Structure 1
Amino acid sequence: MSAIGTAAGRTGRYLRALLPSWQDYRDVKRTWRGDIVAGLTVGIIALPLALAFGVSSGAGAESGLITAIVAGVIAAVFGGSNIQVSGPTGAMVVVLGPVVAAHGVGVVAVLSLMAGLVVIAAGALKLGRAVTFIPWPVIEGFTLGIAVIIFLQQVPAAIGSKAGASSNAFVAAVQSFQTVDWSTVIVPVGMVLLVAAIMLLAPLVHKKLPGSIVAIIVVTVIANLADLPLARIGELPSSLPSPMLPQFDLGTLGSLVGPALTIAALAAIESLLSARVAVTLSDTGPYDADRELVGQGLASIASGFFGGMPATGAIARTAVNIRSGGRTRLAAIVHSIVLIGVVYLATGVVSQIPLAALSGVLMMTAARMISVATVRSIIGSTGSDATVFVITALVTVSVDLIVAVGIGILVAGFFALRSVSASSGVHREELPGEPQPGDERIALFRLDGALFFGAAERMLERVNQTSHITVVIIRMSQLQILDATGARVITEMIQALERRGITVLVKGIQPRHLKLVTRVGVITSLRHRNHLFTDLDAAIEHARSHVSRAAVAGGGTDAADFGWTSTIRLPRD
């Protein structure tokens, strides 16, 4: 009963740690001014991005705006980061686009609910720290691939054409040129270039001037005054919709399981990476990875109930929040309030924004996601890191985001194992002390580093090359890593040498390896248990005795016990 009570207590404490607490706002009295300013700034910057991501995903500008509002406040309250800003992101748009094209816009809210439940489950199962195992080149390759896809997805709107039928962003961008009206293409292209120019020049005027908002205002005014032939966002709701359960049928639900899992994986990875980066940018305290997953899952579910998209932590908006003075969750909450104000007060104006203007904003956003310095650092570091980076980026663009992360991790793991394997070795050593007659018939091998499945076969080949040897001593005291494959290779090596009439002595099995080598059969492969040693001098003296007896006998030896006793205690199990 006591054990049950203890377990229940631990579970209760863990669940309480996943819920909001007044401690989340203990610094608000000191930071509220900076939080409000940061919230206003991020809200202004988030508006064009929310609209653009909504349009680009196929769900519509309304969906992007709802997501930024609802998911933004829920993730701020329930998430594990004090400074993260959440909402629709470019990576999520990349995943949603093909799904919406295949199943229709009606599945977006359902996917939000399904993916949200999976992300909550991941947080409850304490999977939050898993993101720390993703190598840096994989993360940067993933980011580069997303940036390229976002840019390519904007090509049709930027030239005033329709996207191609292909689900691949590059192919669809190329296909869009087949339906372009070349007589009017200069208009949308000119607006995109104007947006880019304003966004580039705005920081030169004032470092805090929101270039994206200024660009959209300028382009919208020009487009409407000149009555330019540009597609507009269109009508938006003047209030938030009432929450409701999305419509779905069981047949469609089955086909959405795969996309929902992909979206959940992306939401978890992107949110945790963003939260981790935010910690390095600010002094707002650590983040709780598991609580962050729970918060992001709840945010996506809430967004789905209001007709929005799945949400993730957004590193660009989070970075702006930090640079603008945000230090607590209040900043992200204010950001959502600002967007609510837009819905209730300015939807008529927002509906007149040209889609080309949003394309320009997203193209610039994609370009800024690519850090030339980071790319140079990775390419110039090691060949393996550069390979992982390039492969991850290429697979992201050509296949799938989650597949790209998986392949990137596998490739990085391969190079890591190869590196560890290269650092391991099997070295033949000279016997210490003054040489004695017969020492040439004793081979002393030292195992270094790691002996696992990546290095074991090489060791077996090295030892089997011995000839004219009577006794082999294997030193294992320098062996740092040993797995079942490595232990099995040692077993096979001993058996092969013993079949050739060579006596094998093992010295220096570390206590942490003893149970493994016993269970795999290293000990039972020896002719006698007294062929285990903890002292090298004793092992060498024993080997010389074998050589002497073999010389007297004129050949092989029966390996009788010469009165030596093993100093290694073998495990009973």
Structure 2
Amino acid sequence: MSLRQLLPAAADYRGLRRTWRGDLLAGVTVGIVALPLALGFGVSSGVSAEAGLVTAIVAGMIAALFGGSHVQVSGPTGAMVVVLLPIVAAHGIGAVAAVSVMAGIIVLAAGALKLGRAVGFIPWPVIEGFTLGIAIIIFMQQVPSLTTPRPLVAGEHSSNAIVAAGQSLAAADWSYLPWALGAAAVVAACMLLAPRLHRGIPGSLVGIVVVTLLCVLLPTPLAVIGMLPDALPAPQVPLLPVDSLAGLVGPALAVAALAAIESLLSARVAASLADTGAYDPDRELFGQGLASIGSGLFGGMPATGAIARTAVNIRAGGRTRLASLTHAVVLLLVVLALSGPVGTIPLAALAGVLMITAWRMVHLATAASILRSTRSDAAAFLLTALVTVSFDLVVAVAIGVAFAGFFALRNLSRATAVNRQPLAGDPVPGDERIAVIRIDGPLIFASADRVFAEATAVHDVGVVILRLSSLDHVDATGAHILSDITLALERRGITVLIKGILPGHEKLLRTVGVVTALRHHAHLFRDLDDAIEHARSHIRREQSPAVREG
């Protein structure tokens, strides 16, 4: 892929004269929705609310300009929070910016190497299991912020979100818990009820404003975000000792894998929500890589495409990149003009936002349909969710894909059939010594051994005709097994004729040695009647004591 294909072009803004009003309105709407999420994900990641805002602004702007989707909105996400928490616990807050830059370089390189289509290999049940696991983790991660006003000490609780939630409840400050639960409940109620009044009401922002005003007017023990800067920090290269950077290679690879997967999935879903033009997966990786690099240089977090904010953008009328850029500008104006009021937002209110966000990530109807589909898909869904919650997000996707792939191969191998067919037409003496064996479906490594066993399980025959015209697909192992079948039968004195090699398979079968395994090059046929007539001539010569096969 040329560099020009990865860079912004005038075509990115085709139709802007017609859509600019809707794009500006959508951008403002998404900016309002993104504000509490950026703050909440920044706090939940163990870094800071400032880091969440910086990521939404810097990464959101860069991804809008360089990404492969016209409507994708990027920034901090819940899935990334899940990965970052263990990194902060193990390496400190200062490592997050370095990981962001390192992961961004990896994602950028993946885009340049045209690896964007790889997300198509992730099965739907694995994606949904992954989403369910993330939702559970995000919900459970909010429990510690509801149980105590003090910041948690690194290593105080387990790195597993569910275990940590239980530990924090066991050590809860019961004088603080009712206040925190009340604040979270008010926000949750606003988020659930506001859409019933009007779809355009940003329930999360309304809830945060209500709780913040109550905390300003009433004496409460609720912990707040605290002082925020009134400008973006100056960009700088994260400086860490060399040995520390070496220890961050593994985490950076995990973050890069997650950023690539989540961004591509989000862009793919966005392309199906409205007619906003196709997305370029390689350019999307390139843009998201640049976004994470830029975010890291400004002290932010790794960024990904955010499907919830992207969906809001599309529903609000966003059709070009102007909407995503406007969203970043709105958040920048918040930093420049409203950093003081934003700093008074209670952390419990943000916890309420994220809990409802996590709840909305779970689609019960979708989960039910997967569980009712096939046993293998249901198992892949549950296994991916379980591993996501218990261990690691990227590992969960890898295990889920491997699990689903195993069952897909098993089902594919079962589609391969080996059948002995009767000879067409009136029988002639000696026909019982001719076996027509038809191989249908895909002939791949997963079915090769079974095909060999069934195709060579013939007895008391002198000629075997292998019918290959119904093979859907043949890999190298499948081609090699055809050669082995031919040689095994020939060693038993059985002449093998092959009928119906498809043009698309011929080169592979000749390269692997199927044709050379035949006793004679004339034992290849395109027509079954010709193959049967040749087989009968072999049987006649076999039954004549004066004739010997050459």
Q: Given the alignment of the two structures, is residue 323 of structure 1 paired with residue 315 of structure 2, yes or no?
A: yes
- Partner AA of 2:34 in structure 1: A
Pick aligned residue for 1:474 from 444, 466, 469: 466
In structure 2, what is the Cα distance between the partners aligned to 1:95 and 1:368? 20
* Offset of residue 398 of structure 1: 1.3
What is the 5 A alignment of 1:356-367? 356-367=348-359
C-alpha contact 1:100 1:107 (8 A) present in aligned 2: yes
In structure 1, what is the Cα distance between the partners aligned to 2:336 and 2:39? 15
* Offset of residue 303 of structure 1: 0.9
Which 10-residue stretch deviates more, 219-228 or 134-143?
219-228
Q: 1:558 to 1:529 in 2, by over 3 A?
A: farther
Identity of aligned residues (%): 62
In structure 2, what is the Cα distance between the partners aligned to 1:559 and 1:453? 34
Q: Given the alignment of the two structures, is residue 559 of structure 1 paired with residue 546 of structure 2, yes or no?
A: no
What is the 5 A alignment of 1:474-513? 474-513=466-505
Pick aligned residue for 2:451 from 449, 453, 459: 459
What is the 5 A alignment of 1:255-404? 255-404=247-396
In structure 1, what is the Cα distance between the partners aligned to 2:256 and 2:277? 26
C-alpha contact 1:160 1:356 (8 A) present in aligned 2: no
Q: Over residues 127-169 of structure 1, what are the superposed CA-to-partner deviations in whole Å (9 max), with x where a residue is unaligned?
A: 1122222221121111111111111111111233748532221
* Offset of residue 527 of structure 1: 2.1
> What residue in structure 1 maps to residue 513 of structure 2?
521
Pick aligned residue for 1:153 from 132, 136, 141: 141
C-alpha contact 2:418 2:438 (8 A) present in aligned 1: yes
In structure 2, what is the Cα distance between the partners aligned to 1:377 and 1:113? 40
Gapped runs of 5+ residues in structure 1? 1-10, 561-573
> What residue in structure 1 maps to residue 68 of structure 2?
80
> What residue in structure 1 maps to residue 535 of structure 2?
543
Q: Number of residues paired by the alignment?
A: 546
Which 10-residue stretch deviates more, 309-318 or 19-28?
19-28
C-alpha contact 1:79 1:294 (8 A) present in aligned 2: yes
Q: Given the alignment of the two structures, is residue 66 of structure 1 paired with residue 58 of structure 2, yes or no?
A: no
Q: Over residues 92-135 of structure 1, what are the superposed CA-to-partner deviations in whole Å (9 max), with x where a residue is unaligned?
A: 11111100110000011111111111111111111112222222
* Offset of residue 408 of structure 1: 1.6
In structure 1, what is the Cα distance between the partners aligned to 2:286 and 2:419? 52
- Partner AA of 1:79 in structure 2: G
C-alpha contact 2:542 2:549 (8 A) present in aligned 1: no
* Offset of residue 82 of structure 1: 1.2
C-alpha contact 1:527 1:559 (8 A) present in aligned 2: no
Q: Given the alignment of the two structures, is residue 439 of structure 1 paired with residue 438 of structure 2, yes or no?
A: no
What is the 5 A alignment of 1:215-234? 215-234=207-226
In structure 1, what is the Cα distance between the partners aligned to 2:185 and 2:286? 41
> What residue in structure 2 maps to residue 106 of structure 1?
94
Pick aligned residue for 1:251 from 243, 250, 263: 243
In structure 1, what is the Cα distance between the partners aligned to 2:482 and 2:231? 72
* Offset of residue 51 of structure 1: 0.5
* Offset of residue 558 of structure 1: 5.1
- Partner AA of 1:277 in structure 2: V
C-alpha contact 1:378 1:389 (8 A) present in aligned 2: yes
Instruction: Name the SS for the 2:219 alignment partner.
Output: coil
In structure 1, what is the Cα distance between the partners aligned to 2:14 and 2:493? 75
* Offset of residue 182 of structure 1: 2.8
> What residue in structure 1 maps to residue 14 of structure 2?
26
Q: Over residues 274-303 of structure 1, what are the superposed CA-to-partner deviations in whole Å (9 max), with x where a residue is unaligned?
A: 111111112221122222111111111111
Instruction: Name the SS for the 1:287 alignment partner.
Output: coil
Q: Over residues 553-573 of structure 1, what are the superposed CA-to-partner deviations in whole Å (9 max), with x where a residue is unaligned?
A: 39xx8532xxxxxxxxxxxxx
Instruction: Name the SS for the 2:438 alignment partner.
Output: strand
Q: Over residues 443-498 of structure 1, what are the superposed CA-to-partner deviations in whole Å (9 max), with x where a residue is unaligned?
A: 11011111111111111121232222222111112112111111222222222222
- Partner AA of 1:58 in structure 2: G
In structure 2, what is the Cα distance between the partners aligned to 1:525 and 1:294? 49
In structure 2, what is the Cα distance between the partners aligned to 1:222 and 1:377? 43
> What residue in structure 2 maps to residue 48 of structure 1?
36
Instruction: Name the SS for the 2:516 alignment partner.
Output: helix
C-alpha contact 1:395 1:401 (8 A) present in aligned 2: yes
Which 10-residue stretch deviates more, 120-129 or 460-469?
460-469
Instruction: Name the SS for the 1:448 alignment partner.
Output: strand
C-alpha contact 1:24 1:82 (8 A) present in aligned 2: yes
In structure 1, what is the Cα distance between the partners aligned to 2:231 and 2:60? 17
* Offset of residue 532 of structure 1: 2.0
> What residue in structure 1 maps to residue 26 of structure 2?
38
Q: Given the alignment of the two structures, is residue 418 of structure 1 paired with residue 406 of structure 2, yes or no?
A: no
Q: Over residues 166-187 of structure 1, what are the superposed CA-to-partner deviations in whole Å (9 max), with x where a residue is unaligned?
A: 2221222222223212343222
After superposition, the CA RMSD in angstroms is 1.7
* Offset of residue 526 of structure 1: 2.1
Which 10-residue stretch deviates more, 236-245 or 372-381?
372-381
In structure 2, what is the Cα distance between the partners aligned to 1:28 and 1:513? 49
Instruction: Name the SS for the 1:172 alignment partner.
Output: helix
In structure 2, what is the Cα distance between the partners aligned to 1:455 and 1:509? 19
In structure 1, what is the Cα distance between the partners aligned to 2:467 and 2:10? 59
Gapped runs of 5+ residues in structure 2? none
Q: Over residues 289-341 of structure 1, what are the superposed CA-to-partner deviations in whole Å (9 max), with x where a residue is unaligned?
A: 22211111111111111111111111111111111111111111111111112
> What residue in structure 2 maps to residue 235 of structure 1?
227
- Partner AA of 1:83 in structure 2: V
C-alpha contact 2:176 2:222 (8 A) present in aligned 1: no
Q: Over residues 326-381 of structure 1, what are the superposed CA-to-partner deviations in whole Å (9 max), with x where a residue is unaligned?
A: 11111111111111121122111111111111111000000001112211222222
C-alpha contact 1:158 1:360 (8 A) present in aligned 2: no
